[in-house]
Structure formats: C-alpha cells, structure tokens
Chains A and B, each alone.
Chain A
Amino acid sequence: MAEATTNLKSLLPPAELQRPPVVENNRGLGWLTDKLSAFAEGKIPLWWWVFFLPSAFCATVVLPFCLFYQVTTGVGVWGNNHPVMWGLDIVNFIWWVGVAHAGTLISALLFLTRQHWRTTIGRMAEAMTVFSVMMAGLYPAIHVGRAWFDWFMFPVPNSNGLWPQFRSPLMWDVFAVNTYVMVSMLFWFMGMIPDFAVLRDRSTTRVRKAIFSALAMGWTGSANQWHHYEKAYVVLCGLCTLLVFTVSSIVGLDFCTAQIAGWHATIFPLYFVIGAVFCGFGMVLVLLIPLRKWCGLQDIITMSHIDKVAKLALVSGLIIDYIYGMEFFIAWYSGDTYERWVFGHRLFGHTYMVLGWMLIGINVLVTQLLWFKKIRSNLLALFIIGVLINIGMWTERFVIVVGSLYQDFLPANWGKYMPTIWDVGIYVGTLGTFFMLYLLFVKFLPMIAISEVKGATPQGNPHHPLGGAKGGKH
C-alpha cells in the first residue's frame, strides 16, 4: 500500500504543468484581508476624483438634461426616422446588455466549472453586469416615446381591459431585461454578505459599523451559515448561467422574427450571445487593468488571470468571426437578392462602408493579436485591445441595426440615419453613469470577493500543508 501511494505521488504533474497559484507570493489570510479591504477603507486617491468628477457630471447633468429634453419633446429629437426607426437607442441597448454578459459568465459559469481564478475578478465583473444592465434598461423605456406609458408593457390590469401581446419577442425582452437586472443584483448582493461582515468587523467608526452591520445582516460565518450559503450560491450561479444564454438570445429574436434582410436569420440568438460575451470581455480588460495597477492588486489579479481573460476574449472573438463568415456565406448561398444587397452594402455601400470595415478590422483582425503570448502579457496592449473590442462591437450593432434598415426592399423607401446630439448625449450620459456607479462601487464596497479569495488559497485548504495539514496527507 505504501508503495502504491509513492507511485501515485510521482504521478503529480511536473512543475511546468501545474496550475499557477490564485494568489501570488504565497500571501497569508491576514495579509489578504488587509489588502482586499484596504481600498474600501483608505483615503480616496487623486485618480479616483479625476475619473469620478467627469463621470458624475455626465451622470447628473448631461443625462438628466438630455432625458428631460427627449422625454418632453419626443423621439423626434433623435435621428430616428423612416425607414431607420431603430437608431442609437437600440444600438446602445444591445451594447450595454452585451457588456453585462461577460460579467455573469465570469461569475456564474466559471464558478460552475470550478475555475478558482475567477474568485479574484468575479465581484468586479458582477458589478459591471449590474450597472450595465441598468444602463441597458433605460433605453427601451425611453425608446417607446411616451415614457409615461411604460407600464403598458407590464401585465397590469387597466381601465381599457387590455393586456400585453405575448407573442412578440419585444414583450419577452421586457421580462428578460427586468429579470436580468433583478437576478444579477441579488447574486451580487448575496456574494457580498460575508464581505460586508469583514468590513463590519474591521470598521473603526460607528457610522461604518452601523452601515456594514445592517448590510451583513448579522452574518457570523458559522459552518451552518456557510453550508446554506454555498448551496444558494450554486443555485444562483446555475440560474445566472441560464440568463447569460437567454437574455441576449431574446434580444436576437427581436431581430430575426422581423422580415428585414440582414436580420431574418436563425443564427441571431447565438450571434448576439457570443457578441455580448466578446464585448463584455473587452470591457473586463478595460476595467481590470487600470484598477489592478492603481489599487495595487498585482498579487491578487495576477498576469495569469489577465491572460485567461484575454484567451476567453479570443475564443469568443473567433466564434464571432465564424458567424460573420457564415452570415456572408448564407447571404450569398440563399440567392436572395435583398440579402445579397444588404451584405454587399455592408462592405461596399457608400454610406456606412467605413463602419463595415471597422467591424472587420477590429473584430476579425485585431482579435487575432490575442493569439500571441507577448500581447497577452502586455497590459497596455491588452487595454487598447479591450477598448477596440468595445468600439468594434458597438460598430457591429450599428451595422446590424442601421445597416439593415436604411435600404430595405423598395428603393423608394430608402433613407439615411445620422445620430443627433441628443442620441450622443444620452449615450455619453449612460457611459458617465456607468463609470460613476463603478467608481463608487470600487471605493465603498468590497470590490474583490475577500472570503472567496481566501478560500481559494492553499492557506485556506485544510488538506494542504500551508493550511496546517500534517505532512504525508495531501
């Protein structure tokens, strides 16, 4: 028996094949607790103000001003007009929903597949999800034109005796987006309960203590509590994973049930899901790389984690490239004149040709840079690629929405679409709101899942020598 155990031990993978540690430099549990709560407890650094003030200006001045003008005047203030009835409002809606998806994928799907490295970036990704779904939810609400009739979209009894018409995917969208907002918030909040307890126990002022005691709801960290908590976490992860694949699919269905050439394709639900995830990974890179540096989290968000995010971006990017190829192929293979016309004009039409080539240039060509390890270990390059992916995916949504609408079946019906200042103003406003909320989250809430990271270290493993296990027992 002893022999057999020795033999088994020699089967451990060699050093170069072993997984990189979740936390570098063998940090202990106390160090991790101090480090991970330091930013939420310390003084506000200068860079935070530098980003917060312009974001807060966009959120509290630009957005309310544009919304006030748009809601009181009407959707006519946007560039939307016949035949392009869906403009930047829908483009931005899909873009924001897309940004949200990678957060859920990282926090839920990677949890179910037991990727321990996700513990370090999961919380930041979830926060990204929560705030970007909020921004997404704003657009359909104002896009309907008379925002005070938004409640017609919900099955509320009214004096006309009318109900929503549930055969429309647009109606499903109402349910999907609302559910997404709610479930991602629940998931985010539940994940933070043990970390609220950490901040409660560390708090030095009465006000902090009162706030975090209320948020932690009396969490003690008993084995029983953890037992139920872990179960609830798994269940929520499962449900959130369903949402990753459902919400954007339903947005895709909004398009493919329409007869418009360029929209009417069965690939759309998958297309939108993968596009969403791809775009979201771009946003994760954009948020993660500066925060890692400015908050001094190099030991926790390691280069290996960033490398993995980049690889996931590459994978989703490659699937997107395949779908682009498929779209063009099917347009040609279908023999449908209108389909061929639309797809030809994506790249060679005169109006939006630049955007078509930008889409190919970024989403197809720039993505290929992620194959190289040199690029994946260069933070500046990854940051720029992250920004480009976001721009590229925004372009893609513009090309799909506007590029398919502006020249439909009847040439007499053709038109053009140019966003107005109000279109742009609302987009800038939502960007500002997103970054403002994100900066507030980073500063005041536990931005990294403190308890999860500690549990993923060897010091937290009762079967590891560093966790106190006696030698011989692995």
Chain B
Amino acid sequence: MKPYGIIAEFETPAAILAAAKQVRDAGYRRWDIFTPFPIHGIDKVMGLKNSLVGWFSLAMGGGAFLSGMGLLWFTNAFDYPLIVGGKPMYSVPMSFVPSYILMVMGGAIGALVGMLALNQLPRLHHPLLKNPRFELVSRDKFMLVIGANDDHFSAVETRKLLESIGGTHIELVEED
C-alpha cells in the first residue's frame, strides 16, 4: 500500500489558517487544506496565484463573440446577401447584440469548463473520499493533508508536526 499523505483535523477556520501557516513555514510544499467553505486569507498563506478561470472565460467568450460576428456576416452579407430597409449588408449595430449574447454564453461555459478542468473534475475516485472522517469536511471540520510525495514527508516527523500544531485524529491515508 502506497501512502497518500497524512490527514489532521482542526476545529475552527482560525485554527486551520494558523496550522496552514506553520506547515508552510516548516518547509512543506505538497499539502492542501479541505474545508466546508472557502477560508478567507488562505490564498495568501498557500501562495495561490490568480486563478486561470478568468482566461478560460475570456477565451471562450471572446471566441463566441467573434464567431457571432462572423456568423452574421456570413449568413446575412456573404452567403445570402439580404437587403433590409436599404441598410448596409453588414454593419456593427445589427450584429453586435446577437454576438454579445453569444459572448455571455461562451464566457459562462468557459468559466464552468475552466473551473472543472483546473480542478481536474469530474473525478470518480479520490483517496481521501474513502476516509470515513473525511465526510466531516463538508460539515463543520477543517482538514489538512500533507502529501506523501512531499520532499520533507516522513511518516513520523510529519505526524509529530501535525500533533504539535494542534491537529486531532491524525491518520495516514493510503492510495490504492
């Protein structure tokens, strides 16, 4: 059985935030916290950079906008030129609104797809989800996991560190 990491439980958001700081200061790099809701200030502690989701959304939304403009030009001005009220075959005012609507749709799909892709979801299996106490993460407990693939990881020392910073129910989680 290959170890996945060591999991420790904390009671309050402030406790997990303080624990995260200490784990970071101890030099660990491959660790994560699991919480029932986003914890204010954790981005800074973990050094999380601005999420790329916005770029996914921009790319999809911008692409949809340009495709919309292209579609309107192709259908109403190129493939079947249609004269309506003597107006130009293709103009921005007529094509802006549908393209803008398509931009909203593309941007929204981009945001959802980007979020799922960056989180590597959907995934049907996760080693932590087999741990019975991990079910409490979605309720009122805050968990910290230090990965076995961390350079500093040692089944004894890491456990000691987690004990010293106030973690309870410390367990080794196995990968399978």
Contacts and interface: CB of A to CB of B under 8 A. Distances in A.
Contacts of A190: 111-112, 115
Given A163-B80, A455-B38, A186 B139 contact: no
Contact of A163 (B75, B94, B104): B75
Q: In the A-B complex, list the 4 residue pairs whose CB atoms are closest, starting with the nearest.
A: A468-B12, A217-B122, A468-B14, A455-B37
A410 interface: no
Given A222-B32, A222-B33, A460 B105 contact: no
A223 B140 contact: no
A167 B32 CA distance: 53
A251 B11 CA distance: 51
B14 A462 contact: yes
B105 A179 contact: yes
A202 B54 CA distance: 33
B35 to A, nearest CB: 6
Contact of B98 (A171, A201, A230, A459): A171
B137 A220 contact: yes
Contacts of A166: 72, 75-76, 94-95, 98
A178 B108 CA distance: 13
Contact of B121 (A176, A217, A226, A452): A217
Contact of A33 (B46, B126, B139): B139
Interface in B31-77: 32-43, 46, 48, 50-54, 57, 61, 71-72, 75-76
Contacts of B12: 459, 462, 467-468
Contacts of A178: 105
Contacts of B136: 201
14 contacts: A29-B36, A33-B140, A163-B76, A172-B101, A183-B105, A217-B121, A223-B32, A223-B33, A223-B39, A228-B119, A231-B51, A235-B57, A454-B36, A462-B12
Interface residues of A, number: 69
Interface stretch (A17-25, A86-94, A242-250, A434-442): A242-250
Contact of B53 (A172, A232, A239): A232
Given A236-B112, A468-B13, 15 more contacts: A30-B139, A163-B76, A165-B82, A166-B98, A175-B101, A186-B108, A194-B36, A197-B138, A217-B123, A223-B39, A235-B53, A246-B101, A454-B140, A462-B41, A467-B13
B43 to A, nearest CB: 6
B114 interface: yes
Contact of A239 (B111, B115, B140): B111
A262 to B, nearest CB: 23
A258 interface: no
Contacts of B94: 166-167
B48 A225 contact: no
Given A183-B104, A220-B129, A235-B53, A33 B36 contact: yes
Interface of B: 11-17, 32-43, 46, 48, 50-54, 57, 61, 71-72, 75-76, 79-80, 82, 84-85, 87, 94-95, 97-98, 100-102, 104-105, 107-109, 111-112, 114-116, 118-119, 121-126, 128-129, 134-140
A179 B100 CA distance: 11
B41 A230 contact: no
A458 to B, nearest CB: 10
B34 A220 contact: yes
Contact of A167 (B16, B87, B116, B140): B87
A132 interface: no
Interface of A: 28-30, 33, 155, 161-167, 169, 171-172, 175-176, 178-179, 182-183, 186-187, 189-190, 194, 197-198, 200-202, 213, 217-232, 235-236, 239-240, 242-243, 246, 250, 451-452, 454-455, 459-463, 467-470
B119 A175 contact: no
Contacts of B138: 33, 194, 197-198, 200-202, 221, 451
Given A172-B101, A223-B32, A155 B53 contact: no
A236 B108 contact: yes
A311 B51 CA distance: 36
B15 A468 contact: yes
Contact of B125 (A164, A189, A218, A455): A218
B11 to A, nearest CB: 7
Contacts of B57: 232, 235, 239
B122 A218 contact: yes
A460 B51 contact: no
A237 to B, nearest CB: 10
Given A221-B137, A232-B114, A461 B13 contact: yes
Nearest to A203: B135
Given A163-B75, A176-B101, A242-B104, A463 B140 contact: no
Contacts of B124: 213, 218
A30 B43 CA distance: 25
A128 to B, nearest CB: 19
